[in-house]
Amino acid sequence: MTARKLFNKYNYLILIIPALLLYTLFIAYPFISSLFLSFFKWPGIGPKLFVGLDNYKNVLTGYMSREFFRALGHNFYFLFLNWTLSIVPGIILALSLAAGIRGSDFFKTIFFIPNTLSIVIVGFLWALLLNPQWGMINQVLKAVGLDVLAKAWLGDTKLALPTIIVITGWRGMGFYVLTFLAAVVGIDHSMLEAGRIDGASENQIIFKLVLPQMVPIITTVTILKIIWSFNIFDIVFAMEGTQGGPAGSTDVLGTLFYRIAFGGLGSSQVGMGLGATVVTLIFLIVFPVSVLYIYIIERRELRG
Amino acid sequence: MKKTIIVLLGLLLTAGILFAGGQKDQGKAKAPAAAKSAPAVVKIWGWRTQDADVWKKAQEALQAKGENIVIKYETFVPTEYDSKVLLSLQGGSAADIFYTRRLPGARTQGLIDNGYLVPLNGKVDLKAIPETTLNSIRSKGKVWGVPFANQVVGIFYNKDIFDKYGFSEPDTWAQLVAISKKLKADGITPFMIPGKAGWALAMQHAMVGVSSPGSDWIGKLAKGEAKFTDPEFVNIGKRLNDLKVYYQKDFIANSTDEMSAGFALGQGAMVFYGIWGGTNWKKLNPDFHYGFFPVPVVKKGDKPAVYVYMDGAYGLNPASKSMDAALKVLSYAATPAYGTTFSNVTGEMTAVSGATLPKDKLILQECYKTANEMAAANTYWVGSVFQNGTPNVYSILREKMQSMYLGDITPEQLAQDVQDGLATWYKPLQK
């Protein structure tokens, strides 16, 4: 084979080098470095001390285990409640908009506006609105005689996490509505018409024809939701700080990692190795789900 | 042909990524010729936003003395600051001077042990700074920074409210409770508490502890002659838990900003806080009059104490490219003139003795006096031996105090959790 032919055969390698370099630099290297670090004790400076699996022992069965499993539980709780509060209303609103209610374009915009705001700004604004003494939410509740419902939303261990989840759901609603709306609009209308001609009621059309057609998009959104729920950090950080207060009731794996790896105000201890261990464990949860997501997407494309 | 063009574009893009930044370096290479008479730039990093004007005035003072120095001060949020400094020092991109935490503490000790701080003995004249203050940044017999402030924590109160009721500063805990009771009966919130800020609750516990049971008992604790489960420690939690009926409703959902706003705007009569809060209170309400007293003792006749600590120091980066200019800045920062500027701008206590404290800030003078006369020798908060392991007293108290206030655990359980947590690594407590 001549040199030119060889070049022509392998020139695709040259084309993927830029992307490969970026991927290696910003994704692969930090991840491998983090994995490596999880076997060391390192306060962020000086020599790294190899400790084998000690960090994993400390996180899974040692002094960090209570905080780790509590945070993990909160991530699961976040996933289930957030899924329920996003998917179900998202489908209902998408179906309403698809049915051609008056002002549907206006509502589409309204639903999507919160999504354009940074999550940190959303957290900050809601923290102001939910202030127990002078926040607008409690003021309105008191003004209409619902004093019993005027709670310390972010200061109650039972209410704080659900409150944050509801706000996250509110902020993301536009995305789900538009995603589901696109799926509904894409359904073959002749099939729905055939159903109507055959005497199916509107409920039967929704439950027997529309929803089954939406299963692939609901699956995709659910998988994305699992990945996002285990990477959650910013909204909790914005509303309750890195401690995930009150009394750790909103602590998630993201805030736990931040506290361990970077310490905090007044703390004299930082544990980069221990933090890397938490990151690795988050990865072990998220990675199989990501693989499943890619598999489903690729299978759908192949079916195309 | 098309293939060749695509391949060439690919090569170009790769080269672009590989050599990105090259132009910047070229620019740098040309710079020296043009910058012969340019001033020496000293970069300073810190976590205190309130110091920006201090450094502006320091630059003016240095320039007035004929020094051709420009100070560039940059701040980072406190929770990210230490990581930023650590990474930048190791990457060679840290500022010439950077704020460091006090000793003992793993962070600053780590910088010293790994050669990321320059010892200042013989390089900076430190005689205007008291030895006791220098001890908080001394290690291996050397001083590793120029201390900038001492902080004092205790109870700050609204003078107008106290004057209206004719209250004087309480000497005992019982008097404090009586004042709170009277205020509450009249519809005034006695205390504004930032329950959302676990660190402030940990600090509240620690400042109550230095008055009763007091510094001597905390000294025994450090030696292992007492335990956190002893009645002395349990009673601190009990007193605070009983006091919570005098806090604002739903205080556990309030941040320090909300506490400051409530206190400065007269919604609450007292706060457990530090002197650094004063600047913010005055900004929120320039007509606000406030006073300070140490946390009252339980037994009449006992001497109250305050928790005073060196807030931090200016450290010198050994890799500084403006070493001479940076040393001049640090030398100036160790003078009473700088201390005067520092206190006037920030309203805080300078670490330099001989400074002229602002006459209009009586509270500062009062705190300065209190700090000198009543400073507790031992404490169990920031800077104590109980901070040097994991979990530390701060990380336990910040969460457990919230749990106690929420009624999820008792003061006895709080004490047990502190004891159990620290006993996992602090040997004197394992006896």
User: Is residue B21's pLDDT more than 60?
Assistant: no
pLDDT band (50, 70, 90) for residue B32: very low
For residue B417, the distance in angstroms to the closest alpha carbon of chain A comes to: 12
Tell me if residue B43 falls in helix, strand or coil. Answer: strand
Contacts of B78 in chain A (CB under 8 A): 265
CA distance B18 to B8: 15
**CATH node for B37-149+312-364:** 3.40.190.10
Domain map (residue ranges) of chain B: 37-149+312-364, 151-309+373-430
Tell me if residue A84 falls in helix, strand or coil. Answer: helix
Mean predicted confidence (pLDDT) in A260-278: 74
For residue A49, the distance in angstroms to the closest alpha carbon of chain B comes to: 14
Domain map (residue ranges) of chain A: 54-303
How far CA A226 is from CA of A220, A230, A290, in Å, comes to: 10, 6, 9
CA distance B352 to B341: 11
CA distance B198 to B402: 7
Cβ pair B253, A164 in contact under 8 A: no
Q: CB neighbours of A282 closer than 8 A, spacing ≥ 6?
A: A230, A231, A253, A254, A257
Q: Which residues of A224-240 are buried (b: 16+ CB within 10 A; e: fewer)?
A: ebbeebbbbbbbbbbbb
Q: What does the pLDDT read at residue B12?
A: 53
Q: What does the pLDDT read at residue A43?
A: 79
CA distance A160 to A164: 6
pLDDT band (50, 70, 90) for residue A265: very low
Locus of tokens 């609901």: A218
CA distance A74 to A282: 13
Q: Which residue of B has its CA nearest to A42?
A: B110
Per-residue model confidence as pLDDT tens digits over A196-234: 898 888 889 989 999 999 998 999 899 999 999 999 999
Cβ pair A236, A164 in contact under 8 A: yes
CA dihedral B72, B73, B75, B80 (to 10 degrees): 70
CA distance B6 to B12: 10
Contacts of A44 in chain B (CB under 8 A): 82-83, 86-87, 110
Antiparallel, parallel or unpaired: β B69-75 and B290-293: unpaired
% of chain A residues with pLDDT over 70: 97
Length of chain B: 431
CA distance B428 to B431: 6
Contacts of A262 in chain B (CB under 8 A): 79-80, 82-83
- What's chain B's average pLDDT? 89
Identify each DSSP E strand in chain A by its residue range. 40-41, 49-50
Contacts of A63 in chain B (CB under 8 A): 390-391, 421, 424
Instruction: List all residues of chain B from 387 to 416 with a beta carbon under 8 Å from chain A.
Output: 387-392, 394-395, 398-400, 402-403, 406, 408
**Distance, CA of A5 to chain centre:** 48
Per-residue model confidence as pLDDT tens digits over B303-351: 999 988 888 999 999 999 999 999 999 999 999 999 999 999 988 889 9
Amino acid A292 reads L
% of chain B residues with pLDDT over 70: 91
CA distance B393 to A267: 9
For residue A133, give the nearest of B250, B406, B421 by CB distance.
Answer: B250
Cβ pair B278, B344 in contact under 8 A: no
State the CB neighbour count (10 A cutoff) for residue B357.
Answer: 18
The DSSP secondary structure of B184-229, one letter per residue, reads HHTT-EEE---TT-HHHHHHHHHHHHIIIIIHHHHHHHHHTSS-TT
Q: Where are the alpha helices (DSSP H) in B75-224?
A: 78-91, 106-113, 131-134, 159-165, 173-185, 198-209, 215-223
Contacts of B83 in chain A (CB under 8 A): 44, 261-263, 270
Long-range contacts of A17-20 (CB under 8 A, 24+ apart): A17/B10, A17/B14, A18/B10, A18/B13, A18/B14, A18/B17
Q: What does the pLDDT read at residue B106?
A: 74
Mean predicted confidence (pLDDT) in B249-257: 93
CA distance A145 to A164: 25
The CATH classification of domain A54-303, taken from the options 1.10.10.10, 1.10.3720.10, 2.120.10.30, 3.40.1110.10? 1.10.3720.10
For residue A22, the distance in angstroms to the closest alpha carbon of chain B comes to: 9
Main-chain phi, psi angles of A77, to 5 degrees: -60, -45
Q: Which residues of A162-194 are buried (b: 16+ CB within 10 A; e: fewer)?
A: bbbbbbbbbbbbbbbbbbbbebbeeeeeeebee
Mean predicted confidence (pLDDT) in A180-193: 90
The DSSP secondary structure of A263-297, one letter per residue, reads --TT-----HHHHHHHHHHHHHHHHHHHHHHHHHH
Query: Between these two residues, A272 and B99, which has the higher pLDDT value?
Result: B99
**Distance, CA of B377 to chain centre:** 18
The answer to whether B424 contacts A63, with C-beta atoms less than 8 Å apart, is yes
Cβ pair A269, A263 in contact under 8 A: yes
Q: Which residue of B has its CA nearest to A248?
A: B399
Long-range contacts of A186-193 (CB under 8 A, 24+ apart): A187/A213, A187/A214
For residue B152, the distance in angstroms to the closest alpha carbon of chain A comes to: 15
Assign a CATH topology to domain B151-309+373-430: D-Maltodextrin-Binding Protein; domain 2 (3.40.190)
For residue B43, the distance in angstroms to the closest alpha carbon of chain A comes to: 22
Instruction: List all residues of chain B from 284 to 343 with a beta carbon under 8 Å from chain A.
Output: none
Which of B98, B102, B78, B101 has its CA nearest to residue B88? B98
User: Is residue A195's pLDDT more than 80?
Assistant: yes
Assess whether the previous peptide bond of A246 is cis (omega < 30° from 0).
yes
Antiparallel, parallel or unpaired: β B268-274 and B142-143: unpaired
For residue B388, the distance in angstroms to the closest alpha carbon of chain A comes to: 7
The answer to whether B252 contacts A14, with C-beta atoms less than 8 Å apart, is no
Q: For an interface test with B, give the residue of A267, A272, A274 to mutate (most B CBs within 10 A).
A: A267
Mean predicted confidence (pLDDT) in A171-185: 93
ipTM of the complex model: 0.82
State the sign of the Cα–Cα–Cα–Cα dihedral B340, B206, B250, B158. negative
For residue A245, give the nearest of B106, B198, B262 by CB distance.
Answer: B198
Contacts of B110 in chain A (CB under 8 A): 43-46
Q: Is B219 on the interface with A (CB under 8 A)?
A: no
